[in-house]
Structure 1
Amino acid sequence: MTRAGDGLPIKSPTEVGMSSSRLSAIERVIERGIKAGGYPGASVVVGRKGAAVFEKGFGKLSWSESSTAVDAQRTIYDVASLTKVVGTTTAIMILFDEKKIGLDDPVVNYIPTFGGGDKDKVTIRQLLTHTSGLPAGRDIWRIAQTPLEARALVLSTPLEGRPGAQYIYSDLGADVLGLIVEVVAGEPLDKFLTRRVFEPLGMNETMFRPADSLRSRIAPTEVTPPRGYPLRGEVHDENAYALGGVAGHAGLFSTAADLSVFAQMMLNGGEYNGVQIISKPTVELFTSRAFGHRALGWDTAEGDYGSGRFLGPTAYGHTGFTGTSMWIDPEREMFVILLTNRVHAARALRPAKVISDVRADLSDAAVLSVLDGPKLASGSRRFRADREVGWNPPPPRASRRRHGSSRHHTIASATSRSRASSAHKSSSAKKATARKSTKKRR
């Protein structure tokens, strides 16, 4: 056994009941995503039974030829909505353990300015399950001039639905949870998490608002954001930026190696390396389904949202808009982490489809590598990345009746299109002549 820096110990797949040859499919899947233009690089860690069995960086931090290669231990990514679970939900779990909050407590008990009308009825549980009635989001960044104004706008946002009646995935709900943490803990969210979670776990590369000295190790995100300059080391999400870079829904930066320690802590029932962060009953409560496919703060594996087809019935996790995901399967004592910066000048026509398929394939490849776990139901073992359906589709053909012939814009080289041009025109002309003698079909 060897140790991977400050991350988990490393073991061979065979030591933890996994197949090395099956795990190798991960490399093909991730590299196909890069080749298709979905993201310039990726960081992956698969862990099982307390150790990392697959830990690797792929590609580079950006598309530039001179860019640094991705390192699973050193490359820092903007993890986007993984902030909701690694940060905000974890803080709520700690305060719940300490009986400083109750899940069915109204939010107005802690933040009176949140209330008014049905908002008086919104509970912490409803914020965690995205059933508070708050809308998905609001363009706070267009209005607020300061983080204080942004916070006030979050709290004054009117409900879109009746509390507890429907599921609306809401960044604003996570922001309210973050503000509750600050009120109850008596310190900023980032300070609380550093003191109570990241430092005790040795997650030294996990933080909000990373220092400028770390810039060279941080994967860039948006090239032309509303802020007017390329982003690197500054939170990608505009509302999180308006809130000062620390928000309940986004703002956290981390490495795959650091997140592997967090995932193992969750698998251990809230404990890692002798340090108890959360109680085991609280981990079980918060990661069990509470409303549809949602747990408390966490999502659960339902064959969708990048979780793949084969994770167990108790598996849980989350995804992030920048191209990140974390899935944890207690039944198999396994986790899968993927970090990318797919929002950085993606070359694929549909980068969202690329990352969705790659996330799912990564999870499937990991589960299919387990040799001593629960048996899988019969079904296709093919990977989505091998088919690349919808990744770089040609545009719809123009009407030949109006334009003579259609042009195909694919990732094929301009040279190939040029060579085919004369033959294509000739064929189109012949087909046009033939159509004149036939009836139109609809």
Structure 2
Amino acid sequence: MIIKKEKLNSAFSMVDNAISKGYFPGAQVAVGRKNGVLRTDSLGSRCLYPNKLPMTKDTVFDLASLTKVVATNTLFMLFMEKGLISVYDKVDYYLKDFKGKYKESITIFNLLTHTAGFVPFKALYKLCRNYEDAVKYICGVELEYEPETKCIYSDFSFILLGYILEKIGGSRLDVLCDKYIFRPLEMHNTGYNPKGDNIAATEMDAESGKPFIGVCHDENGRFFDGISGHAGLFSNVSDLCKFADMLINKGRNFISPLGFAAMTRNHTASLGEDRGYGWCVKGDRNSSGGDIISIGSFGHTGFTGTSMWIDVENDIYTILLTNRVHPTRENNNIIRFRRLFGNSVLSSLAND
């Protein structure tokens, strides 16, 4: 299929219009195919308070839960293909404190697919002393449901998975991901705890009265010194285009064809959600990637207003990075807008 440029331009105009309506202060947007980026743009403001600052093509964003798939899940896939870990390893093989009802049956697969039985969220920064203590807390916490009977998204799964990968790799996630993912893919603007000031602002800090800039927005991630398997990664649209280019080309000499197929398969269709390894997969349910994206397409979102979707069948990907939590997380217009934007981009595809 070909791209109708006027329709694609219309999709990008939607982002500008959303900024004018106050859906988010600014955005970086990209649409690409197997042979490269079709169009990218930087719009609006990276910060509104205390000073209004423009968005640029180099502005770095707090990716929030895109961390799970760009960093942690990718590192898992690489370690699995090196023979260092298996999807069906028991979690208690790596974490001796992982004990309690049903815990002996929980595998890495359950962490990857959010079927382990964990609660969606708890304020570990209020309950624990530090990162190590938080991992012990999660290991001992009572499960909400029997594993593999439901699929309920939980940060706990990827906090534990990140910790396990750190044990295997012998370093913190920031070091491991830089070594195995970001440097090989030439993602030079991607990492934890970024330096510099060209960083999109997130929520206003109640204590300082200033926005978080370059500091992990997620409270638990911030408590872990900004480095975690569930949140804390920063990047920009140009780097994520490099990552998406690898994915739209089915792993292209980075993840094996069979590994890519397993990662993007819908493993939880009967459990109320559609999940691959880490990624959301388009099934017959509502998708942040849009209403007309292909079945089997995969993507993920981040709480701060970030998202990425890959439609291999139609050879197209979309990246939408916004700072929608600036100045407050109460602005939820991004949820509907993602679908509208995805539909508009996908409708630019036409038969030759």
Normalised by the length of structure 1, the TM-score is 0.75
Deviates more, 1:111-120 or 1:240-249: 111-120
Work out which of the residue numbers 177, 181, 184 in structure 2 matches 1:197. Answer: 181
Work out which of the residue numbers 317, 320, 323 in structure 2 matches 1:338. Answer: 320
Deviation at 1:291, TM superposition (A): 0.4
Residue deviations 1:141-161 (CA, integer Å, cap 9, x gap)? 112333332333233322111
SS at match of 2:102: helix
1:257 partnered with 2:238: yes
Residue deviations 1:219-254 (CA, integer Å, cap 9, x gap)? 010103578753110000001111221111100000
User: Residue type matched to 1:32 in 2?
Assistant: N
Conservation of the 8 A alpha-carbon contact between 2:101 and 2:143: no
Deviation at 1:369, TM superposition (A): 0.8
Higher relative contact order (CA 8 A, sep 6+): 2
Work out which of the residue numbers 157, 160, 178 in structure 2 matches 1:176. Answer: 160
User: Residue type matched to 2:229 in 1?
Assistant: G
Residue deviations 1:150-186 (CA, integer Å, cap 9, x gap)? 3332333221111111111100011111011111222
Work out which of the residue numbers 337, 344, 348 in structure 2 matches 1:365. Answer: 344
Cα distance 1:247–1:288, how it changes in 2: closer, same or farther (>3 A)? Answer: same
Runs of 4+ displaced beyond 6 Å? none
Conservation of the 8 A alpha-carbon contact between 1:305 and 1:319: no
Deviates more, 1:318-327 or 1:261-270: 261-270
Residue number in structure 1 paired with 2:257 = 280
Deviation at 1:119, TM superposition (A): 1.1
Conservation of the 8 A alpha-carbon contact between 1:87 and 1:248: yes
CA distance in 2, matches of 1:156, 1:244: 22
Residue number in structure 1 paired with 2:54 = 69
Deviation at 1:106, TM superposition (A): 0.7
Residue number in structure 1 paired with 2:116 = 132
Following superposition of structure 1 onto structure 2, how do residues 92-131 of structure 1 map, counting pairs within 5 Å? 92-131=76-115
SS at match of 2:307: strand
CA distance in 2, matches of 1:76, 1:98: 31
Counting matched residue pairs gives 347
User: Residue type matched to 2:80 in 1?
Assistant: F
CA distance in 1, matches of 2:206, 2:227: 18
Conservation of the 8 A alpha-carbon contact between 1:83 and 1:251: yes
User: Residue type matched to 1:351 in 2?
Assistant: N
CA distance in 2, matches of 1:228, 1:346: 12
Conservation of the 8 A alpha-carbon contact between 1:196 and 1:277: no
Larger Rg: 1
Conservation of the 8 A alpha-carbon contact between 1:44 and 1:338: yes
1:217 partnered with 2:198: yes
Conservation of the 8 A alpha-carbon contact between 2:204 and 2:328: no
Deviates more, 1:202-211 or 1:92-101: 92-101
CA distance in 2, matches of 1:203, 1:67: 28
CA distance in 2, matches of 1:126, 1:321: 22
Conservation of the 8 A alpha-carbon contact between 1:133 and 1:159: yes
CA distance in 2, matches of 1:69, 1:227: 23
Residue number in structure 2 paired with 1:33 = 18
User: Residue type matched to 1:306 in 2?
Assistant: S
CA distance in 2, matches of 1:304, 1:76: 29
SS at match of 2:189: coil
Cα distance 1:155–1:357, how it changes in 2: closer, same or farther (>3 A)? Answer: same
Deviation at 1:269, TM superposition (A): 2.2
SS at match of 1:152: helix
Unpaired runs of at least 5, structure 1: 1-15, 374-442
Residue number in structure 2 paired with 1:89 = 73
Work out which of the residue numbers 320, 331, 334 in structure 2 matches 1:351. Answer: 331
Conservation of the 8 A alpha-carbon contact between 2:33 and 2:248: no
Conservation of the 8 A alpha-carbon contact between 2:199 and 2:213: yes
CA distance in 2, matches of 1:338, 1:251: 18
Percent identity, aligned pairs only, is: 34
SS at match of 1:319: strand
